[in-house]
Amino acid sequence: MAKKSKQSKILPIYILNGPNLNLLGVREPEVYGYTTLAAIEKMCADQAKSHGLAIVFRQSNREGEIVDHLQEARTSGCAVIINPAGYGHTSIAILDTIQALKIPVIEVHLSNIHKREPYRHNSYVSKGATGIIMGLGAQGYLRAVDAVAEILKVSK
């Protein structure tokens, strides 16, 4: 069952986005697509609502701020969906924080990192994630919301 607060309200899914994702739609659209981060946020909010859930949606270019958001989600969220972007390949700090969470974590990548440059093939975040969705573009976020709903046993 979904994690609830003291007021018996289902806590939101934290959807966290790493560096440069604020440039979606204009940065390398042949790799990342034309969908903006604002459009992805709206899509995720609608998808979560269809499952009776809400979201907290954030983006940061700063590793420490992402760690802060993850720590907040530990007590204020029912799950995390994270697109760590470039930090997935470099951040032990984000991995350590994810491993401290007691809630589901779904890692999302817009592109298939295994079809890209060799340095992108490894994701530290994957080592702590409940599941991984990649290569589906913006639709990957929606599949992640569906996965969280299923994991939490929340019906439509």
Instruction: For 85-114, write each residue's pLDDT tens digit.
Output: 999 999 999 999 999 999 999 999 998 888
Q: Which domain holds residue 103?
A: 19-151
Among the ranges given (21-30, 48-57, 90-99, 122-131), the one the predictor scored with the smallest mean pLDDT: 21-30
CA-based max dimension of the chain: 47
CATH of the domain at 43: 3.40.50.9100
Q: Please provide the average confidence, as pLDDT, over all residues in the chain.
A: 91
**Where would I find the H helices in 58-151?**
63-76, 92-100, 139-151
Does residue 39 fall inside a structural domain?
Answer: yes
What average pLDDT score do residues 1-27 get? 82
Predicted local distance difference test score (pLDDT) of residue 8: 53
Does residue 8 fall inside a structural domain?
Answer: no
Catalytic residue selected from 51, 69, 87, 109: 109
Look at residue 33 and tell me whether its pLDDT is greater than 90. no
Backbone angles phi, psi at 147, to 5 degrees: -65, -45
Catalytic residue selected from 32, 87, 124, 141: 32
Q: Name the more confident of 137 and 27.
A: 137
Look at residue 155 and tell me whether its pLDDT is greater than 50. no
What average pLDDT score do residues 151-156 get? 66
Instruction: For 56-96, write each residue's pLDDT tens digit.
Output: 999 999 999 999 999 999 999 999 999 999 999 999 999 99
Does residue 31 fall inside a structural domain?
Answer: yes
HSE-CB at 132 with a 13 A cutoff on CA atoms is 17
Does residue 11 fall inside a structural domain?
Answer: no
The percent of residues above 90 in pLDDT, for the chain, comes to 75
Among this protein's residues, is 14 annotated catalytic?
no
Q: Name the more confident of 109 and 122.
A: 109
Does residue 133 fall inside a structural domain?
Answer: yes
Among this protein's residues, is 32 annotated catalytic?
yes
Does residue 3 fall inside a structural domain?
Answer: no
Give burial (CB, 10 Å; 0-12/13-18/19+) of 88.
Answer: buried
Take residue 3 and report the two structure tokens written for it. Answer: 């994690």
